[in-house]
Chain A
Amino acid sequence: MTAAGYIPMRLSLESEAASFSDFFAEYSRKAYAFALHLTGDREEAMDITQEAFLRMHERWPLRDPDRPAPAWLYTVVRNLAIDHLRRRARRAETEIQEAVLHAPEAGPETAAEQGEMSRRLWEAIRKLPAEQREILLLRDWHGLNYSEIARVLGLSLGTVSSRLHHAREKVREEMRGYLR
């Protein structure tokens, strides 16, 4: 899956008239990718995607029309992923932070097919602290704007902007040899 045809997810995209099935068609793969970014496990990502849409489907009629559905979806997926990682950490008797940091290893399995540059880029992204990596992917791959990211992660706009900047600087540093 690529972020080709990248469309910033704004309120206008989620018009009131759009049906749940339209929403599912547009965002189910992005939700899966986000769950995969967080957990690094395909089965868990599928379980999370399923549970997230089921929860949203139940509350869809009662939702606040002013609340952007994509941000809502990403919040639900993130909360479910954290629950999964906590359970996994308990099972493996490891710290939650460790589980999060190791998680995306299994992310872009097809990265090898995309050439050395993409592989290096993903390595650089993987090396980022979890809180910076998450913001970088939400912005640059998933296409959320700063206020949507702030909403999903429960952060201020300033924190989102600052973390994203530091993340990009670190990735740039790692990729220096490939950019010049």
Chain B
Amino acid sequence: MTPQQHDELRQMLSAYLDHELTQASEQRVRLHLEDCPECRQACEEMRRLQEMTRSLRFAEPPEDKMKELERSLAVQAPRRLGWTFVVGGLTAWIVYAAVTWIRHWRPPTVEELIAGAVVIGFLMLLASVAVERLRQLPHDRYRRIQK
């Protein structure tokens, strides 16, 4: 075996340990390990280090904060979504008023503004129901049942 071939196989040791090689490459490394005590030792030491790394302990997140986070997730996301619809609705309403002004060369009347607010509010409501339905879909245990 040439030094280049040896180096090439040595480079594959890590992936061999992780079972990330093709079957053919894995077989090549396995055969090489039978003949090369240096690589065999390197492989064994890497395996031990991997186990040691796996068992390292790190600071736990504060339990109360994690519970708080779990609870807030249920509350905050819809709240954010609500704000998105409010801002979106107001923007649409302002755009509608501006377009009306430009088209008729006069400010929109109170009736037009109210009508616009009602239509846009209704559309936002429909959109929020649709988004909420999409949000619930993965958790809907009956969605796979055929009617």
Contact = CB atoms under 8 A, between A and B. Distances in A.
B86 interface: no
A57 B11 contact: no
B130 to A, nearest CB: 11
Name A's interface SS.
helix
Contacts, number: 135
A144 B147 CA distance: 39
Given A28-B69, A118-B56, A62 B134 contact: yes
A58 B77 contact: yes
Given A1-B57, A49-B61, A146-B18, A172 B45 contact: yes
Interface string A93-127: 00000000000000111110110011001100100
A32 B56 CA distance: 15
Given A58-B80, A162-B11, A175 B49 contact: yes
Interface string A53-68: 1100110111000000
Interface residues of A, number: 58
Given A20-B138, A108-B57, A165-B15, A53 B69 contact: yes
Contacts of A50: 69, 72
B54 A45 contact: no
B133 to A, nearest CB: 9
A24 B73 contact: yes
